[in-house]
Amino acid sequence: MKKTIKVLLIATQLFSITLFAHTTSKREISKNTEINVLHSMNHEVETVAESAIFNLLLLKNRNPQMDLTAFTNELVKLATEGQTAKIRYKAQLTYWYLTNKDKIGEIDFNHGDDDNRYYEELADKLKSILIASN
């Protein structure tokens, strides 16, 4: 458990530092950051992979115009081949958010550290959109 928490903290710090140190004024992600995120998304420690996926969700929310298409293929792969059902579910919802943010509207990103609440809200939005379209 301690090892998992330590790995998660290190991965999150590295991701944050790399992302913001290499993000240009145009809000583009550097190749180095892209490689680090893709590696983290496929990490053997489930919480590291979940954290990387969740950080994409937060990044898109804070920077709606940012092009995150470099990660969509990997999210599709994880949505079908992820190591756990939880990773597959979160990858699927994150992919949907990244590719359809304009249809979703605003999501309350003030739930603190509980990433499950964000995904619940996102799932509720998706459900309401699907029901409204029928």
Mind listing the pLDDT tens digit for each residue in 54-63? Answer: 999 888 888 8
Q: Are 91 and 53 in contact (CB under 8 A)?
A: yes
Residue type, 57: L
What is the Cα–Cα distance from 56 to 23, expressed in whole angstroms?
14
**Listed residue (21, 98, 22, 86) closest to 58, CA to CA:** 98
DSSP 69-91: GGGHHHHHHHHHH-SSHHHHHHH
Mind listing the pLDDT tens digit for each residue in 24-51? Answer: 445 677 888 889 999 999 999 999 999 9
| Residue 103 in tokens | 């249809």
What is the Cα–Cα distance from 22 to 24, expressed in whole angstroms?
6
Residue 8 confidence (pLDDT) above 90: no
User: Angle at CA 74, nearest 5°, toward 15 and 92?
Assistant: 100
Residue type, 83: Q
Q: Report the share of the chain in percent with pLDDT over 70.
A: 75
pTM: 0.76
Angle between helical axes of 46-62 and 85-104 (0-180°, round to 10)? 0
Q: Count the Cβ atoms, other than its own, within 10 Å of residue 52.
A: 24
